[in-house]
Amino acid sequence: MPKLKTHSGTKKRVTITKTGKITRRHATGNHFLEKKSGSRKRRFAGMETITGKQAKSIRRNLGA
């Protein structure tokens, strides 16, 4: 049986940390920033950890 290919879209959007956690960027933090409040923009900063069933499906996409 051939090896499964890594999903290219997932590979570009997600990173796996040394401890095995999956992190991604917050959505809607790039454009239309004038209408968003400062506190809302600060919430979009940084990375978010993915857990649960989502993490399981992402690991399957990455082949990890």
Please state the domain extents for the chain: 8-62
How high is the pLDDT of residue 25? 94
pLDDT of residue 17: 94
Tell me yes or no: is domain 8-62 CATH 4.10.410: yes
CA distances from 21 to 8, 10, 46, 50 (A): 19, 15, 15, 7
The C-alpha angle 25, 61, 22, rounded to 5 degrees, equals: 35
pLDDT of the residue at 63: 85
Kindly list the averaged pLDDT for each block of 10 residues, start to end, along the chain of length 64.
Answer: 90 94 93 94 93 94 84
- Name every residue whose Cβ is closer than 8 Å to that of residue 24 and which is 6 or more positions away in sequence: 13, 14, 15, 47, 48, 50
**pLDDT at site 16:** 94
